[in-house]
């Protein structure tokens, strides 16, 4: 899938910029928004360890800063050789902006991806609809 290749290349390029001197675990993420634009991000750590930001969160921030709020698909690429899945906090952040049909691609170093969904990674999520009353 051409779209997946693009997400992989963007995530890989972002991962190359990861600032991860403490964990030495560089991560890249790339997402396609509703407009078709691609936004990427990498993890950015801090000497005050809890302040580190995940790659998925960085990509989401770039999307929102560009005026978009809908994730159609997102690809995550860890340091390899295997695949990683988003941490719990990032699953919640992805869920905030992802419709139920959104795809989450867990890529390995070769670009081969296992595709899953928000509902699979975060079942019974608390989300914007949970706040609706009445
Ligand atoms: N990390 C991500 O950026 N995304 C993930 O999905 C999992 C973990 C980062 C956080 C931290 O900088 C490093 O990887 C090790 O946990």
Q: Is pLDDT of 1 > 50?
A: no
Average pLDDT of the residues in 121-131: 92
| 133 against 47, higher pLDDT | 47
pLDDT value at residue 134: 55
Residue among 123, 2, 17 nearest 77 (CA): 17
pTM: 0.96
Q: Mean pLDDT of all residues in the chain?
A: 95
Annotated catalytic, 45?
no
Express each pLDDT in 60-72 by its tens digit. Answer: 999 999 999 999 9
DSSP 109: T
Kindly state the percentage of the chain with pLDDT values over 70.
97
**Which atom of ligand 1 approaches the CA of 55 most closely?**
3
Rg, C-alpha atoms of the chain: 14
Q: Which residue has the tokens 């396609």?
A: 32
Q: Report the percentage of the chain scoring pLDDT > 90.
A: 92
Report whether residue 43 contacts ligand 1, using a CB cutoff of 6 Å.
yes
Q: Decide if pLDDT at 2 tops 90.
A: no
CA 87, distance to chain mean position in Å, is 10
Structure tokens at 92: 């919640």
What is the widest separation between alpha-carbon atoms in the chain?
Answer: 49
pLDDT at 76 over 80: yes
- Owning domain of residue 28: 2-132
Nearest atom in ligand 1 to 44's CA: 12
CATH number of the domain residue 58 falls in: 3.40.140.10
Task: Please report, for the chain, how many H helices and E strands are present, in that order.
Answer: 4, 5
pLDDT number for residue 26: 98
| Tokens at 59, concatenated | 């990509």
Whether the CB-CB separation of 104 and 94 falls below 8 Å is answered with yes
* Substitution site in 54, 105, 114, 122 for ligand 1 pocket (most atoms within 8 Å of beta carbon): 54
Does residue 3 register a pLDDT over 90? no
Total domains in the fold of the chain? 1
């Amino acid at each position: 899938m051409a779209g997946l290749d693009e997400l992989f290349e963007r995530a890989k390029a972002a991962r190359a910029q990861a600032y991860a001197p403490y964990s030495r675990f560089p991560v890249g993420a790339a997402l396609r928004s509703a407009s078709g634009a691609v936004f990427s991000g990498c993890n950015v750590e801090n000497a005050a360890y809890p302040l580190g930001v995940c790659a998925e969160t960085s990509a989401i921030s770039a999307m929102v800063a560009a005026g978009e709020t809908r994730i159609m698909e997102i690809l995550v690429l860890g340091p390899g050789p295997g695949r990683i899945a988003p941490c719990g906090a990032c699953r919640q952040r992805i869920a905030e902006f992802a419709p139920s049909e959104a795809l989450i691609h867990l890529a390995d170093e070769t670009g081969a991806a296992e595709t899953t969904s928000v509902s699979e990674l975060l079942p019974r999520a608390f989300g914007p609809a949970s706040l609706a009353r009445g």
